[in-house]
Structure formats: structure tokens, C-alpha cells
Amino acid sequence: MQSEMTPRTDAPLLEVRDLQTTFDLSKTQSVRAVDGVSFEVNAGETLAIVGESGSGKSVTSLSIMGLLPKDIGRITAGSIKLNGREISKLSDVQMREIRGKEIGMIFQEPMTSLNPVHTVGQQIGEMVIRHEGLSKSKARARAIEMLDLVGIPEPRRRVDNYPHEMSGGMRQRAMIAMALACEPRILIADEPTTALDVTIQAQMLELMADLQKKLGMAIVFITHDLGVVAEVADRVVVMYAAQVVETAGVVDIFRNPRMPYTAGLMNSIPRLGSSIEKQRLKAIPGTVPALTSLPSGCRFNPRCAFATDLCRSAIPPLEEAGDGHMIRCARWRELTLNEREAS
């Protein structure tokens, strides 16, 4: 199965520029849930977007997919280009053509994308009937092929199962099968393994890596789990309070985080094998600010050990430190954050 889209090597597959997404909280109050976010995703690569609750990582993905909640959320500035084509201003009907075909999506909870009243075969089949004009019998054959691809045993029997007849792990696989049925060039995975037990998560991560190798799609992996990031990502975008605060290659960002928030996150996770030399965790003090009452200047400054008056006076720009390593910190040139020993 060859995709008929013309491959472009010069431009990134997905390019998000200065994206701003606004949510109405009431008739008079609104917040920027995504505030000037930029990143790009190249063909075949995995980009992880990391952040805590309220960082804007999920709203960023909903903005790309055109799935912002109607009436309260909208893109207010910036651009989203898929394969060079601007998609942020498309109508719902036009976006429906793109979702599933060019962008695949998987979510934390498989039941948000699986319909309980149709069999998984019907649901996967519907994707290829709509987007590729396949006949019913061919669609069923594709559904079986996809279920087999994602490692569901007895796909010929399982194709007629309803979602509730499947175990949680199998539903997760069925959801992936549906997302990939039309061989999208890019898959957006929003916390796809967060609700799973760790042994099932291991199966899913292995499956996704395997499918990426076979199908060559790019993946945008949204997660809060730094262990998962280290395992799946080629590049990492760290978000804090609706903004990107650091972007770098995965090895670079784990070995040499340059923004104090990123370094703080790395230090606050308890690591397996640490009981040999028990150390107190280095927690980040304070809490994530509410988008309705952001501090002036750098949004991380009230929790930052290195904050000065400079940090409180203006939001620092996202600056490039070389090698595609971008940092939003007024003091990045002078700071030496404790590097994790590269063992």
C-alpha cells in the first residue's frame, strides 16, 4: 500500500508556528491555553511533548486535530501546516477528511475513540470506506489485516467483536489499528499508555515502535512520563504554563537540561535502583500557576531557584543554543544546572 501523497523532503511534515489557542472560561473571562507554541515534526521521527497538567500539551494536540471543544475553545493566532498545507483554518468537513487519513489519533482511554455499538471490524472498515473508497468486503479484509498487524490473536474472529468483548489491552490495540488503517503519515498519541499497567504499557510501546518501523509514520507522543519519553522520543518539547520552555534532542535534553524547570522535573522523579544510595528527592517547590493568574515575567520564576529581577520583568524569548536546542530562560548562558552524570 503506497500513500499517494507526494513526499517532501525539504519541509517538515508538521509545522506548528506561534500557535495560540484561547478558551473561554465565562462570558467575560478567557485564557490562552496554548500561548505561542512552535515546533516541527519530520517524517518518520517521534516528537514527545512533555508537561504537567495545565501545561497545554493536550490542547496543542486537540488544536492540531481540529478537535477543540466547540464554542469555548478556538485557535486565535498562528499556523499549523501539514505537508506544507495550512490546516488551522479548515472547516469541520475539511478536517474530517484529514483526520484518520493523514493524521491518525490515539487517546488515553480507548473507549473515547471506539464506538460501543459497532464491531471493531465495522469501525476500522468505515475509515477505509470513507477515506479510500474501498468496498465493504475489501474493508473487512483490511480490518482483519490491521488487527493482525497490531497483534490481536485470531483476527478473523475478533473482527466481529464489540469493544466490550475485548480486554483493555486488546481495545488499546484495536484503537491503534483504527488509527493506522489508512496509513497516516503522522500519528498523534495523547497519553496512550498512561492508564495502562506497566507490563501492558511495555507491550504497547513495543508495538508502536514496531509499527513505526514498518509503516514509517511520524509520531507526536504526548505524555507526562519522562521514562516513556526517554524510550520513544527522538526530540522533546517541554511545555510549562501554555508555553514551550525547552526543545532539544532526547539525549541532549536528558543529559544537559538548560531550563531550570526541565532540570527540576528530571530531578524530581524517583528512579529505580536508587535504594542503594537513598537520597531525598529534589522537589520543585510551589505549584503550577493557574492560567488565570500567571506571574509576570518568566512563568516559572516563582518556583525557580535561579530567579532574579530580570526574570520577573519580562517573559524570556525561546532562544537557540545550537544544535536545535531551544531554551526559554533569561539566564541560560550563565547557568550551570547540575548535569546528570552520563553513566
Positions touching another protein (CB under 8 A) are 52-53, 167-170, 197-203, 205-206, 224-231, 233, 250-251, 254, 264-266, 268-276, 278, 280-285, 287-288, 340
- Going from the C-alpha of 155 to that of each of 163, 179, 201, 205, the distances in angstroms are 14, 17, 21, 21
Give the nearest distance from C-beta 196 to another protein in angstroms.
9
**Amino acid, res. 171:** R
Nearer to another protein, 45 or 102 (CB): 45
Q: How far is the CB of 163 from another protein (least distance, A)?
A: 15
The helix/strand/coil state of 335 is coil
Q: Which of 117, 272 has the CB closer to another protein? A: 272
CA distance 1 to 11: 23
Q: Where are the alpha helices (DSSP H) in the chain?
A: 57-65, 92-98, 120-132, 136-149, 155-158, 168-180, 198-215, 226-232, 250-255, 260-268, 309-313
As given in the structure block, the three cell numbers for residue 198 are: 506497566
Q: Which is nearer to another protein, 135 or 268 (CB)?
A: 268
Which residue lies nearer to another protein by CB, 135 or 287? 287
CB of 244 to another protein, least distance (A): 17
Shortest distance, position 264 Cβ to another protein, whole Å: 6
Residue with Cβ nearer another protein (7 or 324): 324
Q: By C-beta, is 70 or 280 nearer to another protein?
A: 280
Task: Give SS3 for 2.
Answer: coil
Check if the beta carbon of residue 250 is closer than 8 Å to that of residue 235.
Answer: yes
Q: How far is the CB of 301 from another protein (least distance, A)?
A: 15
- 212 close to 290: Cβ distance less than 8 angstroms: no
In whole angstroms, how close is the CB of 209 to another protein at the nearest point? 11
CA-CA distance, 315 to 245, in Å (whole number)?
Answer: 11
- Letter for the amino acid at 126? E
